[in-house]
Amino acid sequence: MRSGKFAPVKKRGRGRITHLACKVLEKRFPDVTDSFEEWLPSRPDWIHELPDIDILQRELIELKERGGKIVLYGHDDMDGITGIYIGMRILEGEGYTVVPIMPRRLTDDYGLLPSRMEGVLLPGDLLLTVDYGCSAVHGVKWALDLGARIVITDHHTLHYPLPPAHGMINPQRVGPPATYMAGCSVLYAALISIYPEWENNPELLIAVALGTVSDRVPLLGWNRYLLEEFRKVNIDKLEGGLAVLAEAWPARETAWTGSMVRHAISSVIGKGEGSGIEFLLDFMMDDNYKRCRKIWKRLKKSSRRRAHILSEIFSEAIKNRDDQASAYGMNLVYLDSIPDGMGGTLASKLSRITHRGTIIVSPRDGDRLSGEARSYGDWDMADFLVSMGDVFTSAGGHRMAAGFSSEGITWGELRELLLSKMTSYPVDPVPMPHIDLVVDELPDPEEFLCLAPFGGEFLPPAVKKDTMRYLLNVGESSVSWFITEESGD
């Protein structure tokens, strides 16, 4: 059974892929003729694969002639901020004036808020969004009435009617594999199609990689193509904050997992008020390495403090799980208060540790409830929430991570509605642990490292020997087999 450690059967950009790794790919992609190409596709033809890039191109040309500026409205998470970075670098580099707007999660509602755009967005300007805005009907109408031009770039689930923007670059309009893309890479793909000289710029690729991994999108298809381009980057050329981020990337050139990166980078930056997300854009733009090192050290310290708070609310959440939801295979938790920005992290942690989808609800000023939800396995969290219709004043996100807010409904009422929806939703929320190969003898775990990175629906390989399941356990400088029923995400 065992094949030699150096038995490459196929080349990929970086070198070899072993015989056993090939077998894993065949198992993972049974319906395709070329599982290798399915796993690591060649460069996508972005301009033909994604809608409305031509519209953005025309808008940019016309804007240059008119002489207006670009208001780049993002999302205040890693995907959104890395997206704003990408937009600013390319568009300022192309001679445009770009003013970023980042929502404030604590006070701002979802959507494009006229109050944030007032006095900033002027008639004749181009309102461009990243990772944001595909449901912002009200905000887009406001900007239209003002006399601005509007192009939305986003990857979130679409809700109809769509906002009346001039263009909408959202892979959800196309279907998989485009739908796997993160918000930052949608803008990247659009802009490098228009300005090809920016393609594979190392600074942009680290932003794409960071946004992709942090947003927990599947590390499949086009995402894997982009991550492979990122792997080839020579980080010695990076400066300041980007150099610090690249150095913090665990095992970048060899074998890493999404959770390793989220632990080493995303969670150090953190979320919400007072965290590093508030100055991530400045940090990425800063070319002073020494200063950035210092900032990073400080961030690490405060992330340890956040980790401590998180572990406290985590044990509270575990105790408060709803019994009835547990019986349906889901975690449903109501907490009186959750520190800003921690709801999503808490939901992720609960999901990961209990191997179940999780919905965490807490009150937000007045009679509003807000929720953070993470899925596990095949459960499509955004679809689940959106299919509940009018219950929420806003709901959205994607398969693995979604959120909502509701108004004028009590927790008791919302709980009943969620529970009844769980019973009728046609997916078992608790997935079966995957098995890629059945073996007589445990193979050398290193044979599978060529398949890295792992995470986001491309889980580490698992093999079965006799009655035991062994999962590939990838560390920064080690790899081994673990006997476990875990998914490895």
- Would you tell me which residues interact with Mn ion (CB under 5 A)? 79, 131, 183, 215
Can you read off the two tokens belonging to residue 53?
Answer: 């890039």
- The nearer residue to Mn ion, 76 or 215, going by C-beta atoms, is 215
Whether 127 contacts 114, CB under 8 Å: no
Would the CA dihedral through 152, 82, 265, 21 be positive or negative? positive
Task: Indicate the residue among 215 and 229 with the shorter CB distance to Mn ion.
Answer: 215
Q: Phi/psi at 22 (nearest 5 deg)? A: -60, -40
SS3 405: strand
Which one, 181 or 360, has the nearer CB to Mn ion?
181
Instruction: Name which of 215 and 322 has its Cβ closer to Mn ion.
Output: 215
From CA 170, how far away is CA 179, in angstroms rounded?
A: 8
φ, ψ for residue 371, nearest 5 deg = -135, 150
Min separation Cβ 175 and Mn ion, Å: 18
Dihedral, 215, 374, 392, 75 alpha carbons, nearest 10: -10
Output the smallest distance, CB 218 to Mn ion, in A: 13
Choose between 211 and 453: whose C-beta lies nearer to Mn ion.
211
Nearest to Mn ion of 57, 135 (CB atom): 135
Q: How far is the CB of 472 from Mn ion (least distance, A)?
A: 28
- The count of other CB atoms within 10 Å of the CB of residue 237 is 12
Nearest to Mn ion of 186, 243 (CB atom): 186
Q: How far is the CB of 419 from Mn ion (least distance, A)?
A: 28
* Count of beta carbons in the 10 Å neighbourhood of residue 409: 15
CB burial of residue 468 (10 Å; 0-12, 13-18, 19+): exposed
Q: What type of residue sits at position 328?
A: Y
Comparison of 156 and 231: residue with beta carbon closer to Mn ion: 156
CB of 215 vs Mn ion, minimal distance in Å: 4
143 contact partners, CB below 8 Å, separation of at least 6: 112, 117, 121, 127, 150
Taking the complex as a whole, the smallest distance from the CB of residue 308 to Mn ion amounts, in Å, to 27
**432 DSSP 8-state letter:** P
Query: What is d(CA 185, CA 245) in angstroms, rounded to the nearest whole number?
Result: 18
| Contact indicator for 198, 192 with CB cutoff of 8 Å | yes
Long-range own/partner contacts, residues 164-171 (CB < 8 A, 24 or more apart):
164/137, 164/140, 165/133, 165/140, 166/55, 166/59, 167/52, 167/55, 167/56, 167/59, 168/51, 168/52, 168/134, 169/50, 169/51, 169/52, 169/53, 169/56, 170/51, 170/134, 171/50
The least CB distance from residue 182 to Mn ion, in Å, is: 6
Which residue sits closest to Mn ion, CB atoms considered? 79
Q: Considering the complex, state which of residue 129 and residue 331 has its C-beta at the smaller distance from Mn ion.
A: 129
- Cβ pair 21, 450 in contact under 8 A: yes
State the nearest-atom distance from the C-beta of 443 to Mn ion, in Å. 36
Task: Report the residue number, 79 or 125, with the smaller CB distance to Mn ion.
Answer: 79
CB of 335 to Mn ion, least distance (A): 24
CB of 216 to Mn ion, least distance (A): 9
